[in-house]
Structure 1
Amino acid sequence: MWMLFLCVAWAAAIVSCAHLCRAAVAAAQPPLRAPSEGERRLGLYEMAYLSGGPRRVTDLAMVTMGRQRRLHLAGTGWATVVDPGGRNAVERALIDAIGPGGQREIPEVRAAHAASDVLAALADRLTAAGLAVPAATRESVASGMREVRAAVVVIVVMLAAATVGNPGGAAPVAPWFALPLLLAAGCLGIARVEIHPYSRWASPTGQDLLRAVAVPRSPAPDDPHLLTALAVRGPSALSDPELRAALA
């Protein structure tokens, strides 16, 4: 009976690792074309998307409007519109995401803003330029990682079942399960080192551009480079504790 459990363990390890390897190979493929000189000049919203995806773009838009007293961000996690006139498409989409009531919880604003056509167009433009990881590739890598983690759990469960079902066996069954467990765990460990750069929002080319951006470590609230630091490093770059609490 324990051989049946071993076959299930091997099947889980092989299938999940094969899916992850296939996703990793697809993610590592170079873009179909190199970005043009104009596409390599990143604006703040492009930096934000490549660094943290739609959520970072929303945070950047909210903080930008908040610094100009056009939006109030409360430490309790609410966003309130002060001036309903957005100065660009991203801000207008943000105001629409907050809704006609002019006030909404920030997590709900992020979700609605991420689903807007404006952010979808931004993602498509960066993906077409070879700077962002395609959504399908990013999901394929994430799905492969989940499958390998699940395989590790399956192997451990199969080992426990085989041990219980073979209490008086002539030989211990644990060593037989060591190889599939080592395969799955090793694949997962290598993936976290080798595949992780491709699972982010920015492609290798996009990451190279982000690394070239000069970002101050601890910008003051009135520092003109504060928004750049927020776009690249996220809310941790903000020195205002109330503002960090609002975004958290």
Structure 2
Amino acid sequence: MWVLFLLAAWAAALLACGRLCLAASAAARPADRDGAAGPGGPYVPTLYETAFLAGGPGRVTDLALVVMERQQRLLLARTGWATVVDPLGRDELERSLISAIGPGGQAPVPEVRSAHAGTDAVAALDGRLTEAGLAVPAPRRAAVLLAVRQVRGACAVVLLTGAAAALAVPPASGWQEAAAWFSLPLLMTVTCLGFARIETPPYTRWASPAGQDVLRRAAAGPPCAAPDALTALAVHGRRALPDADLRAALAPGPRGGGGPGPTGRI
């Protein structure tokens, strides 16, 4: 009887892991216009586009926040709150960021990051990079994310069917042998999730192979030149910022303090 549960567990594991492998392979393939060149030569991404290739919409939001903070048009509190000083954005990304902060002019940075990711300005940036062959197309990224969820579901199925099989085994036979057989599909699904985390963080890269070449050049920079703080943020994330207060303000999780404080960045 328990063998039927084992077959169900193997079917779920093989289907889910196979779909993840196919989706990850599709995401890693060069885009149709990989490294497309325009009339003036290869496409050269802006700093915001470089941030998207390196870290997606969240990195774009962080870069916009720091740009406005440097120009004293926005305050970033160490407690993780953003406060608008100048409500007039200088480009579409800044205007969408101000809208994401909300009509009150203050919001926690994690909430701003989440709201800004769904704006038309970020979607347009994604579209330009995809058209240029530098970004992984959104359907491929979505396919990888869906496949990862299916592998997680398969992992749960293996655990449930294993528990059911253990209950179905006659007491005289012992359940240890059945449990040992179920450890194999469980190991397969867990290993597949581990490889997905290592090879395609966060479950798929934002940059296509051509986009990754662009990022490598941006990370290298000119010979004998120290990278600009904004470029370092775009390519490497908030940990590359020399200012500890800014790093704390851009931390992904909520912090204590309850608000921005009287002077914004403290």
Q: TM-score, normalised by structure 1?
A: 0.86
Identity %: 58
Look up the match of 2:27: 27
**What residue in structure 2 maps to residue 201 of structure 1?**
206
| Aligned match for 1:148, one of 146, 151, 157 | 151
Quick check: 1:43 aligned with 2:46? yes
CA distance in 2: counterparts of 1:53 and 1:69, whole angstroms? 25
Partner AA of 2:2 in structure 1: W
Partners of 1:243 and 1:87 in 2: how far apart?
A: 22
For the aligned residues, what is the CA RMSD? 2.5
Tell me, which stretches of 5 or more residues in structure 1 are unaligned? 217-222
2:173 to 158, 169, 186: 169
Structure 1 residues 93 and 175, CA, compared in 2 at 3 Å: closer, same or farther? closer
Residue type matched to 2:21 in 1? C
- Aligned-partner residue type, residue 168 of structure 1: A
Q: Which runs of 4+ in 1 moved over 6 A?
A: none
Rounded to whole Å, the distance in 1 between the matches of 2:232 and 2:218 is 9
What secondary structure is seen at the aligned counterpart in 1 of 2:83?
strand
Give deviations 1:172-216, integer Å, cap 9, x for gaps: 324443543454344444444555597021112111110111468
Give the Cα–Cα distance (whole angstroms) in 1 for the partners of residues 229 and 154 of structure 2: 44
Identify the range of structure 1 (46-55 vs 152-161) with the bigger mean alpha-carbon deviation: 152-161
The answer as to whether partners of 1:132 and 1:206 remain within 8 angstroms in 2 is yes
Partners in 2 of 1:9 and 1:100 — Cα distance?
Answer: 51
Q: Deviations over 1:59-88 (max 9, x none)?
A: 101101101111111112221111223222
The count of corresponding residues between Structure 1 and Structure 2 is 242
Q: Determine the structure 1 residue equivalent to 2:262.
A: none
* Structural mapping, 1:50-129, within 5 Å: 50-129=53-132
1:220 aligns with none
The residue number in structure 2 matching 1:10 is 10
**Partner amino acid for 1:238?**
L
